Amino acid sequence: MGLTEDRERFREVGEERREDLAEFISHGDLGGSDPDRVRIPVKIVDLPEFEYDQREAGGVGQGQDGQPQPGQPVEPEPDGDEEGDPGEEGGEHEYYEMDPEEFARELDEELGLDLEPKGKRVVEEVEGDFTDTARAGPRGTLDVDEFFKRGLKRHLATDFDDEYVREGLFVAGAGVDDAFAWARDEGIPVSRAWIADAAATLAAEHGEPVAALDRWESFDALDDAVDREPVTQRIRREGLDSVPFRREDERFRHPEVIEKRERNVVVVNVRDASGSMRETKRELVERVFTPMDWYLTGKYDAAEFRYVVHDAEAWEVDREEFFGVQSGGGTRISSAYELVAEILEEYPYSEWNRYVFAAGDSENAGSDTTDAVIPLMESIDANLHAYVETQPGGAAPNARHADEVEEAFGDADNVAVARVSEPDDVTDAIYEILSTEADGDGGATAGEAARGRTDGGENR
């Protein structure tokens, strides 16, 4: 009973009622010193007290393996919680450290999500198997099979039935030129020089010029009488004595080039920082956004985060400022989406997975939502647009942004709206948002399944 009230009062520390304590609040730095770790933030309020300057005080540490050497740099031990309770056992860390991938896995398990990130940007060309070939390369990569095949092909291409061609010279009245013309007509890869050479030999053997040899009346008669023996048959008969290897037949293997696509994501977090966004609302935003950021960090190879806060104007901030900024102004949510569109120009949709997460208390100026925000959301390509309404104590009647967005997009699989009124809603909200995209494909399947059932009913 009393404690419930104490917790309520604690939540209000730093708020209007106890703004004097705001300077003593520390929120966890979510980046941490090690980029691979993320931390769960705890709001800590340290009342001031007389204490030592940490640098002047120094400290005592314990070496993990062996005694360290004086002069060696060390990380000072974080200041423990000295007001320990007797018997309370366990670490006194104020942060819970977790690896984003581990976190994403656990969240997948916990919520039954199954988000398969798409690879988009080509980040590098890696070497695949040695399956491509080129005409030059180191000797070691010479593709011997290919070399032989090419040599063989050449051999086959230049090889001809010499007996058959020689017969051409025995046609009546045919000289070297006639025989050459005939052989070429027949498609025999023979050179004129070879025929001339053969003719000279024959002339020497027979003692008269080849034109005088008349075994065949005409080339046609020769064709009818003698069958050309195909090369393959001849090789089979005579064997392959040599393959004419040539330099130009050399082929060198080199690795295949594969484009590797990185699963990269840009997340734009948008937060309403207007006067109505009090500490409790801000905290709810942090509670929803932080795990989603980790989740996406864990899911993707590379994640970039941009932070936009807005009242009636929008401006970009660093992560450290993002959850803390509060301005006094009114609210015009479209200002943020204009800036988002501008920021996302740096991240072409063809190369990047894009997420736009916005949060606020659903208050917006006039008809800004329907006139400006919704068209902007439609025009900004993204895997997912989400709006998180943080409204402790339930929806306010004049805060319609979330409702209007929901009405406009209905069940679109790239727009999610979630409402958070207390920390216990956070998990549901995260599920609502992240499952919207995970359902992208799954949603269609579900629809088909439903249709299938209907059909089944009709058939029966």
| Spatial distance between the Cα atoms of 318 and 45, rounded to a whole number of angstroms | 23
User: Smallest distance from the beta carbon of 16 to other proteins, in angstroms?
Assistant: 11
User: Smallest distance from the beta carbon of 90 to other proteins, in angstroms?
Assistant: 3
Identified binder of other proteins from the candidate list 22, 31, 32, 93, rule CB under 8 A? 93
User: Smallest distance from the beta carbon of 78 to other proteins, in angstroms?
Assistant: 8
- Residue 42 within binding range of other proteins, rule CB under 8 A: yes
User: Smallest distance from the beta carbon of 110 to other proteins, in angstroms?
Assistant: 13
In the complex with other proteins, the residue whose CB is nearer, 80 or 452, is 80
In the complex with other proteins, the residue whose CB is nearer, 81 or 256, is 81
- Residue 227 within binding range of other proteins, rule CB under 8 A: no
User: Smallest distance from the beta carbon of 75 to other proteins, in angstroms?
Assistant: 7
User: Smallest distance from the beta carbon of 362 to other proteins, in angstroms?
Assistant: 26
Span between the terminal Cα atoms of the chain, in Å = 60
Among the listed ranges 4-12, 301-309, 346-354, 427-435, the one in contact with other proteins (CB under 8 A) is 4-12
| Spatial distance between the Cα atoms of 140 and 443, rounded to a whole number of angstroms | 53
> DSSP string of 81-93?
-SSPPTT--S---
Q: Nearest CA to 417 among 435, 427, 405?
A: 405
| Spatial distance between the Cα atoms of 231 and 159, rounded to a whole number of angstroms | 7
- Residue 45 within binding range of other proteins, rule CB under 8 A: yes
In the complex with other proteins, the residue whose CB is nearer, 41 or 168, is 41
Interacting residues with other proteins between 49 and 88 (CB under 8 A) = 49-77, 80, 82-88
Cβ neighbours around 109 below 10 Å, total: 9
- Residue 12 within binding range of other proteins, rule CB under 8 A: yes
User: Smallest distance from the beta carbon of 39 to other proteins, in angstroms?
Assistant: 11
Q: Nearest CA to 159 among 243, 43, 102?
A: 243
Among the listed ranges 11-19, 199-207, 235-243, 392-400, the one in contact with other proteins (CB under 8 A) is 11-19
> C-alpha dihedral over 88, 94, 96, 97, to 10 degrees?
-120
157-162: list long-range contacts, CB under 8 Å, 24+ apart: 157/189, 158/189, 158/244, 159/189, 159/231, 159/234, 159/235, 160/188, 160/189, 160/190, 160/231, 161/188, 161/228, 161/229, 161/231, 161/234, 162/198
Q: Which amino acid makes up residue 352?
A: W
Identified binder of other proteins from the candidate list 35, 91, 187, 457, rule CB under 8 A? 91
User: Smallest distance from the beta carbon of 128 to other proteins, in angstroms?
Assistant: 43
In the complex with other proteins, the residue whose CB is nearer, 11 or 154, is 11
Among the listed ranges 38-46, 113-121, 150-158, 243-251, the one in contact with other proteins (CB under 8 A) is 38-46
In the complex with other proteins, the residue whose CB is nearer, 61 or 230, is 61
User: Smallest distance from the beta carbon of 326 to other proteins, in angstroms?
Assistant: 20
Q: How would you class 86 by CB atoms within 10 Å of its CB: exposed for 0-12, middle for 13-18, buried for 19 or more?
A: exposed
> DSSP string of 254-282?
EPPEEEEEE-EEEEEEEEE-STT--HHHH
In the complex with other proteins, the residue whose CB is nearer, 24 or 130, is 24
- Residue 89 within binding range of other proteins, rule CB under 8 A: yes
309 Cβ contact partners less than 8 Å away, ≥ 6 residues apart: 270, 271, 272, 273, 315, 317, 321, 322, 325, 327, 336
| Spatial distance between the Cα atoms of 159 and 315, rounded to a whole number of angstroms | 79
Kindly state the number of chain residues that form the binding site for other proteins, as judged by CB under 8 A. Answer: 68
- Residue 33 within binding range of other proteins, rule CB under 8 A: no
Could you say which DSSP state residue 34 is in? Answer: S
User: Smallest distance from the beta carbon of 428 to other proteins, in angstroms?
Assistant: 17
Identified binder of other proteins from the candidate list 3, 136, 204, 449, rule CB under 8 A? 3
Backbone angles phi, psi at 163, to 5 degrees: -60, -40
**Three-class secondary structure of residue 310 per DSSP:** strand
Q: Which amino acid makes up residue 460?
A: R
| Spatial distance between the Cα atoms of 402 and 379, rounded to a whole number of angstroms | 18
Among the listed ranges 17-25, 145-153, 269-277, 319-327, the one in contact with other proteins (CB under 8 A) is 17-25
In the complex with other proteins, the residue whose CB is nearer, 151 or 423, is 423
Q: How would you class 136 by CB atoms within 10 Å of its CB: exposed for 0-12, middle for 13-18, buried for 19 or more?
A: exposed
Identified binder of other proteins from the candidate list 15, 27, 37, 43, rule CB under 8 A? 43
Q: Interface residues with other proteins (CB under 8 A)?
A: 2-3, 5-13, 17-18, 20-21, 23-24, 40, 42-45, 47-77, 80, 82-94, 96
